[in-house]
Amino acid sequence: MHSDYDERVCVVRDKFRTLDMALIASCFTDDVEVAYNQLEIIRGKEALLSFLTPRYQVLADYQLDKRIVLSQGNTVCVEVSASYRHRENNKAYQSRIFEVLTFRGELISRWDYVGNAEEIVQ
Protein backbone atom coordinates (compact mmCIF):
# COMPACT_ATOMS: atom_id res chain seq x y z
CA MET A 1 0.00 0.00 0.00
CA HIS A 2 1.41 3.35 -1.02
CA SER A 3 -0.97 5.56 0.96
CA ASP A 4 1.62 6.39 3.63
CA TYR A 5 3.78 8.06 0.98
CA ASP A 6 1.22 9.32 -1.56
CA GLU A 7 0.88 12.66 0.20
CA ARG A 8 4.65 13.08 0.68
CA VAL A 9 5.34 12.38 -3.00
CA CYS A 10 2.58 14.84 -3.99
CA VAL A 11 4.16 17.52 -1.79
CA VAL A 12 7.56 16.88 -3.40
CA ARG A 13 6.00 17.02 -6.88
CA ASP A 14 4.20 20.27 -6.12
CA LYS A 15 7.35 21.91 -4.78
CA PHE A 16 9.37 20.83 -7.82
CA ARG A 17 6.63 22.15 -10.14
CA THR A 18 7.25 25.66 -8.82
CA LEU A 19 10.95 25.55 -9.83
CA ASP A 20 11.56 27.57 -6.65
CA MET A 21 14.88 26.35 -5.32
CA ALA A 22 14.03 27.21 -1.70
CA LEU A 23 10.88 25.08 -1.90
CA ILE A 24 12.74 22.27 -3.65
CA ALA A 25 15.48 22.40 -0.99
CA SER A 26 12.86 21.97 1.72
CA CYS A 27 12.19 18.43 0.41
CA PHE A 28 15.63 17.15 1.46
CA THR A 29 17.63 16.46 4.59
CA ASP A 30 20.81 18.50 5.04
CA ASP A 31 22.90 15.34 4.52
CA VAL A 32 20.98 14.03 1.48
CA GLU A 33 22.80 11.75 -0.94
CA VAL A 34 21.86 11.85 -4.60
CA ALA A 35 22.77 9.37 -7.33
CA TYR A 36 21.85 11.32 -10.46
CA ASN A 37 22.13 9.16 -13.56
CA GLN A 38 25.73 8.02 -13.84
CA LEU A 39 27.35 11.05 -12.22
CA GLU A 40 29.32 10.94 -9.00
CA ILE A 41 27.26 10.87 -5.82
CA ILE A 42 26.13 14.35 -4.74
CA ARG A 43 26.41 14.74 -0.97
CA GLY A 44 24.53 17.38 1.00
CA LYS A 45 21.69 19.77 0.31
CA GLU A 46 23.98 22.66 -0.67
CA ALA A 47 25.81 20.53 -3.26
CA LEU A 48 22.45 19.35 -4.60
CA LEU A 49 21.21 22.93 -4.97
CA SER A 50 24.42 23.92 -6.74
CA PHE A 51 23.82 21.05 -9.15
CA LEU A 52 20.10 21.63 -9.74
CA THR A 53 19.93 25.43 -9.91
CA PRO A 54 21.56 25.93 -13.34
CA ARG A 55 19.54 23.03 -14.76
CA TYR A 56 16.22 24.38 -13.54
CA GLN A 57 16.88 28.05 -14.40
CA VAL A 58 16.53 27.28 -18.11
CA LEU A 59 13.16 25.51 -17.81
CA ALA A 60 9.88 27.10 -18.91
CA ASP A 61 6.35 25.70 -19.25
CA TYR A 62 7.38 22.97 -16.82
CA GLN A 63 4.96 20.08 -16.31
CA LEU A 64 5.69 17.27 -13.86
CA ASP A 65 3.86 14.16 -12.73
CA LYS A 66 4.95 11.44 -10.31
CA ARG A 67 3.36 8.03 -9.72
CA ILE A 68 4.40 5.61 -6.99
CA VAL A 69 5.08 2.18 -8.47
CA LEU A 70 6.26 0.37 -5.35
CA SER A 71 7.01 1.11 -1.72
CA GLN A 72 8.84 -0.80 0.97
CA GLY A 73 9.57 0.58 4.42
CA ASN A 74 10.71 4.19 4.04
CA THR A 75 11.60 3.81 0.34
CA VAL A 76 9.36 4.49 -2.65
CA CYS A 77 9.92 3.85 -6.34
CA VAL A 78 8.41 6.56 -8.50
CA GLU A 79 7.74 6.77 -12.22
CA VAL A 80 8.10 10.37 -13.38
CA SER A 81 7.13 12.18 -16.56
CA ALA A 82 8.05 15.77 -17.26
CA SER A 83 7.90 18.21 -20.13
CA TYR A 84 9.34 21.66 -20.56
CA ARG A 85 10.62 24.27 -22.97
CA HIS A 86 14.31 25.16 -22.80
CA ARG A 87 14.60 28.95 -22.45
CA GLU A 88 17.91 29.19 -24.33
CA ASN A 89 16.97 27.29 -27.50
CA ASN A 90 13.16 27.47 -27.19
CA LYS A 91 12.87 23.76 -27.97
CA ALA A 92 10.34 21.51 -26.22
CA TYR A 93 11.44 18.35 -24.41
CA GLN A 94 9.88 15.42 -22.62
CA SER A 95 11.55 13.38 -19.91
CA ARG A 96 11.01 9.89 -18.60
CA ILE A 97 12.49 9.29 -15.18
CA PHE A 98 12.57 6.59 -12.55
CA GLU A 99 13.33 7.62 -8.97
CA VAL A 100 13.96 5.74 -5.78
CA LEU A 101 13.27 8.06 -2.84
CA THR A 102 14.30 7.16 0.70
CA PHE A 103 12.61 9.22 3.40
CA ARG A 104 13.78 10.11 6.87
CA GLY A 105 10.63 11.41 8.48
CA GLU A 106 9.01 13.81 6.01
CA LEU A 107 12.24 14.57 4.11
CA ILE A 108 14.18 12.76 1.38
CA SER A 109 17.53 11.49 2.64
CA ARG A 110 18.49 9.65 -0.57
CA TRP A 111 17.42 10.31 -4.16
CA ASP A 112 18.35 7.83 -6.87
CA TYR A 113 17.53 9.27 -10.30
CA VAL A 114 17.65 7.59 -13.69
CA GLY A 115 16.20 9.50 -16.60
CA ASN A 116 16.63 11.15 -19.94
CA ALA A 117 15.06 13.88 -22.04
CA GLU A 118 14.18 13.86 -25.70
CA GLU A 119 13.31 16.76 -27.94
CA ILE A 120 9.67 16.90 -28.98
CA VAL A 121 9.74 17.27 -32.76
CA GLN A 122 6.80 19.31 -33.97
Mean pLDDT of 24-46: 97
Domain segments of the chain: what residues?
3-119
Radius of gyration for the chain, computed over Cα atoms and rounded to the nearest angstrom: 14
Classify domain 3-119 at the CATH topology level: Nuclear Transport Factor 2; Chain: A, (3.10.450)
* pLDDT confidence tier of residue 4, bands split at 50, 70 and 90: confident
CA max distance for the chain: 43
- Coil/strand/helix, residue 49: helix
Quote the percentage of the chain above a pLDDT of 70: 98
| Residue of 63, 64, 61, 51 lying closest to 87 (CA atoms) | 61
Q: Is the pLDDT of residue 2 over 60?
A: no
In degrees, rounded to 5, the angle at the alpha carbon of residue 77 between the alpha carbons of residues 73 and 83 is 150
Q: Which pLDDT does position 122 carry in this prediction?
A: 75
Q: Are 40 and 80 in contact (CB under 8 A)?
A: no
Spatial neighbors of 45 by CB under 8 A, at least 6 apart, are: 25, 28, 29, 30, 31, 32
For residue range 49-87, what is the model confidence (pLDDT) as tens digits? 999 999 999 999 999 999 999 999 999 999 999 999 999
Assessment of whether the complete model's pTM goes beyond 0.75: yes
